[in-house]
Amino acid sequence: MPELPEVQTIVSELDKKIKGKKISKADVKIPKMTNLPVLEFEKKVKNKTVKSVWRRAKMIIIDLEGKGYLLIHLKMTGQLVFVPKAGRVVSGGHPIASTIDLPNKFSHFIFYFSDGSKLFFNDIRKFGWIRYADKELMEKETGKYGAEPLTDDFTFKYFNDVLNRYPRRNIKQILMDQSLIAGIGNIYADESCFNSQILPIRISNTLTEVERKKLFKAIPKILKLAIEKGGTTADTYIRTDGSKGSMFNYLNVYGQQGKICKTKKCQGTVNKIRLNGRGTYFCAGCQK
């Protein structure tokens, strides 16, 4: 599923598209994909104006007037498609065969705006969801996540305390635990470990202070680069403006198995193993 940089890219672009627009009507097709009875959900959002769009971990949050919120998670196959009254259709998330013929059988939520534009939430496998939340529920849901790695909350003390709290976990497991650090998934956990020259299988209590500081600095560095490049485009992810993120060209290990390490002095080969149930990439020559 999209990780922090991909979700941030969607949020930044979607905020430009729908901020200030009024929802004249909502249409929910699959009741299980939301948290309220369909008629109640549709009533809650009707005639509400979008104040802003923001992110918490991998969750998209649409802030509505009147202290209401739409919490959106794309999960494995979710997609958001914005259709203006006139102009080019734009989409972001996981690509589905056609975004021209809408709504289609995968369109499970439709938001109609008063200016004639529409926002579709499509999902082939129906793993994603959109929930309506008041301020209390929004804060409860967002409070489940750990520190955002691109904010001042993510300090070395915080990171070091996390490592000390779980001394027997491997480092990748810690990086991907959303309750500890928000937004890092498979791709950027592997890339952060490579950048700091640490094997993802290392147990946290074996990391020296120098290694901990290197990894702490690598995490925001990698995430900022990924946001700058518009995220990593895979077969199941594209940007909100319909273009492809270029971060894949800057990945050193993820998806590079069998290739020669890009570190000039190394000349090792990138390996792939299963770790914590996920494909994990590393260079045994560079990473210790």
Which are the catalytic amino acids? 2-3, 58, 278
Torsion angle of C-alpha atoms 165, 169, 171, 174, degrees rounded to 10? -60
Cis (ω within 30 of 0) for the bond into 149?
Answer: no
Q: Which amino acid is at 206?
A: T
What strands lie across the sheet with 50-56, from one edge to the other? 50-56, 59-64, 68-73, 129-134
Q: How far is CA 19 from CA 11, 23, 50, 53, in A?
A: 11, 11, 5, 7
Helix axes 209-228, 186-195, angle to 10 degrees: 130
Backbone φ, ψ for residue 136 (5° rounding): -65, -45
